[in-house]
């Protein structure tokens, strides 16, 4: 069975830094990627169950230039006597006129990112947007909860919808709201120069929303009411390679951008069951190997003969054919590589194997007598010998704390991630899937209270480093067997303060900080969270500054 069943292993949260970085790879610009300031409460020094570690970073004289300048559309406004626990913002147009009585929405998000599961957990932890209205001077005030970031989305008639991250509680900031822009153009085929009709265009602008349209019979497309600023345009066509354009749109402008698509290769897949029969009506996914996280580039269902065809594939790339059917089975097959554009079609036969199932119960501290924990999220992930990843869909425990996960691949070692917002994260490592199926040994896991950690990042002169990044990694021999849930990233606030509370006692961590202005790092600092019954919460090792 899965090693660690019935055992609370060192819980972990970590982040894959290549994932979701704005403007990197194929990722669209995402609003702060759920990384934000996590201020320390004023009573931090008096708390007895709180870990605190302040460590230096970067031996530079920060002076007054150490604080990152506000973005072009933001102007800090000094204002005394404001509530230090609230954000204070005012909104004006490009001429400085206040935007009064405008509809806005307050969006609260967690201040951390979880490795390979950040979208899932961010959605679980995010609260529903709260509607507010600016006053006659275009102002709002929003209470700030420690450990969260606050976004404000402004929707004013005649202006572009846009999101802003609120910073500097206790100070007033003025935000300039721009006029909407228009993006238009045509989509063409590179070889024939013919217009491409029905191409799917996805636009991600600074409103934080994803907008999708299709090109018309003449290949034309048009996006209206686009938020000015950075934007990413992604274009998909069944027989062409996907195209990604990074743009910057000015307020109240009309920009033309033609898209030229290059034809791609094709993959023909024949899906069969364990005795060679055709399998119609089953969804098949195509995953591009080497992307992080693994990018599903296409999905389709097999026809009556059990076949499916994928186009728009790149020569020289490796693709994984993935099938996960609850009744018929699971399969992972690496497709033949398309060698060149002159021979663009390859074939693959995929045979389904029987599913394996994991069952168990999530309890408090591994004690069944305390009852099961309802509403906990359970995800399993394994890495194949050739470096591919298989992750199950997230399932929730029922009223008794029981869960059932199907579709496990025979012979793989799985990490079990258990998440509940009221407890520390749990990671369980595993043996091969078929050994986990014994009804006498269910995979039970116990949740334990979270242990809050607070601290501050300072430079060699003891000055706080605002908006630094703190990387937290699980260490020790009890680490996970795959990447899920193994890292956490937190960002400090304007005073260099940070906090996180995803781990239970006993977790072994390594912390490192980065000064994002000067590019300096602290070396890794090993810490261990112990219990709060008079024992120290952190075991701190020597930290050395480095560039």
Q: What is the pLDDT of residues 197-220, one digit of tens each?
A: 999 999 999 887 889 999 999 999
Contact (Cβ atoms closer than 8 angstroms) between residue 234 and residue 248: no
Which is more confident, 348 or 38? 348
Give 181's strand partners: 226
Residues 36, 491: contact at Cβ < 8 Å? Answer: yes
Token digits for 506?
Answer: 């006993």
Q: What band does 540 get if pLDDT is binned at 50, 70 and 90?
A: very low
pLDDT of residue 198: 93
pLDDT of residue 430: 57
Say which residue, 68 or 402, is predicted with more confidence: 402
Q: Give pLDDT, residue 493.
A: 77
Name the DSSP class of 66. Answer: G
Percent of the chain with pLDDT over 90: 25
Cα angle 381-299-302, degrees, rounded to a multiple of 5: 110
pLDDT of residue 393: 80
Q: Which residues contact 47 (CB under 8 A, 6 or more apart)?
A: 452, 454
**pLDDT tier for residue 248 given thresholds of 50, 70 and 90:** very high
Residue 544 has pLDDT above 60, yes or no: no
CB-based contact 366:445 (threshold 8 Å):
yes
- The neighbour count for residue 396, using CB atoms within 10 Å, is 12
Q: Is the pLDDT of residue 223 over 90?
A: yes
**Which pLDDT score is estimated for 125?**
60
0.75 cut: is pTM over it?
no
* Rounded-to-integer distance, Cα 258 and Cα 245, Å: 10
Report how far residue 513's alpha carbon sits from residue 490's, in angstroms, rounded to the nearest whole number.
9
Torsion angles phi and psi, residue 434, rounded to 5: -65, -20
Which three-class secondary structure state does DSSP give residue 396?
strand
Most confident of 120-134, 164-178, 379-393, 471-485: 164-178
Q: Is the pLDDT of residue 356 over 80?
A: no
The pLDDT score that the predictor gives to residue 476 is 59
Cα dihedral: 235, 153, 22, 319 (round 10)? -40
Q: Is the pLDDT of residue 1 over 50?
A: no
Grade residue 149 by pLDDT with cuts at 50, 70 and 90.
confident
pLDDT in tens, 462-521: 788 888 888 888 875 544 455 677 788 888 877 787 888 888 877 888 888 888 777 788
Between 423 and 75, the more confident residue is: 423
pLDDT at 458: 81
8 Å CB contact between 361 and 347: no
| 525 closest CA partner among 41, 16, 45, 57 | 57
Cα(21)–Cα(35) distance, integer angstroms: 10
pLDDT score of 307 more than 90? yes
Given its phi and psi angles, is residue 535 left (phi above 0), alpha (psi -120 to 50 degrees) or beta? beta
446 Cβ neighbours under 8 A, 6+ residues apart: 6, 7, 8, 362, 363, 364, 365, 366, 367, 426
The rounded distance, in Å, linking the Cα atoms of 91 and 177 is: 7
Cis peptide bond prior to 293, omega within 30° of 0:
yes
pLDDT classification of 317: cutoffs 50, 70, 90: confident
What is the pLDDT at residue 67?
Answer: 30
Residue in the block written with tokens 């934007």? 231
* Tens of pLDDT, residues 65-92: 223 333 334 444 445 678 888 889 999 9
Question: Chain centroid to CA 150: how far?
Answer: 17
For residue 320, the model assigns a pLDDT of 86
Tokens at 238, concatenated: 């069944």
How far is Cα of residue 471 from the mean position of the Cα atoms in its chain?
15
């Amino acid at each position: 069975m899965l090693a660690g069943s019935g055992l609370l292993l060192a819980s972990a949260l970590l982040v894959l830094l290549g994932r979701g970085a704005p403007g990197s790879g194929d990722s669209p610009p995402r609003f702060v990627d759920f990384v934000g300031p996590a201020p320390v409460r004023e009573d931090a020094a008096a708390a007895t169950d709180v870990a605190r570690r302040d460590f230096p970073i970067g031996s530079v004289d920060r002076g007054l230039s150490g604080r990152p300048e506000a973005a072009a559309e933001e102007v800090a406004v000094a204002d005394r006597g404001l509530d230090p626990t609230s954000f204070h913002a005012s909104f004006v147009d490009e001429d400085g006129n206040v935007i009064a009585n405008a509809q806005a929405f307050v969006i609260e998000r967690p201040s951390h990112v979880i490795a390979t599961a950040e979208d899932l957990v961010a959605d679980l932890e995010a609260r529903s947007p709260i509607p507010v209205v600016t006053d006659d001077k275009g102002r709002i005030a929003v209470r700030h909860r420690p450990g969260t970031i606050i976004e404000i989305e402004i929707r004013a008639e005649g202006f572009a919808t846009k999101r802003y991250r609120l910073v500097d509680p206790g100070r007033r900031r003025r935000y300039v709201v721009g006029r909407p822009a228009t993006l238009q153009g045509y989509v063409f085929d590179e070889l024939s120069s013919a217009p491409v009709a029905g191409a799917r265009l996805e636009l991600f602008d600074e409103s934080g929303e994803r907008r999708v349209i299709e090109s018309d019979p003449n290949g034309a497309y048009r996006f209206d009411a686009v938020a000015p600023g950075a934007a990413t345009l992604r274009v998909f066509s069944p027989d062409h390679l996907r195209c990604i354009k990074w743009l910057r749109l000015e307020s109240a402008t009309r920009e033309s951008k033609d898209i030229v698509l290059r034809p791609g290769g094709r993959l023909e897949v024949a899906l069969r069951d364990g005795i060679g029969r055709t399998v119609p009506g089953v969804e098949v996914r195509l995953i591009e190997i080497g992307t992080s996280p693994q990018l599903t580039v296409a999905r389709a269902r097999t026809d009556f003969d059990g076949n499916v065809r994928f186009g728009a594939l790149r020569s020289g790339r490796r693709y994984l054919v993935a099938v996960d059917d609850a009744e018929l089975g699971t399969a992972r097959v690496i497709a033949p590589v398309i060698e060149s554009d002159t021979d663009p079609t390859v074939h693959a036969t995929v045979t389904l194997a029987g599913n394996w199932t994991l069952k168990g119960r999530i309890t408090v501290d591994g004690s069944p007598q305390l009852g099961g924990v309802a509403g906990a999220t359970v995800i399993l992930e394994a890495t194949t010998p050739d470096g591919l990843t298989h992750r199950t869909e997230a399932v929730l425990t029922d009223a008794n704390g029981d869960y059932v996960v199907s579709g496990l691949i025979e012979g793989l070692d799985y990490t079990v991630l258990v998440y509940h917002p009221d407890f520390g994260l749990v990671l369980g490592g595993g043996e091969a899937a078929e050994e986990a199926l014994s009804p006498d040994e269910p995979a039970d896991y116990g949740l334990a209270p979270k242990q809050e950690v607070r601290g501050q990042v300072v430079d060699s002169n003891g000055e706080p480093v605002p908006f630094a990044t703190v990387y937290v990694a699980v260490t020790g021999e009890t680490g996970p067997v795959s990447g899920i849930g193994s890292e956490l990233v937190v960002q400090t606030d304007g005073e260099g303060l940070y906090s996180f509370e995803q781990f239970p006692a006993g977790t072994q961590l390594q912390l490192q900080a980065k000064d994002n202005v000067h590019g300096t790092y602290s070396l890794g600092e090993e810490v261990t969270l112990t219990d709060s019954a008079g024992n120290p919460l952190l075991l701190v090792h020597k930290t050395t500054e480095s560039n």
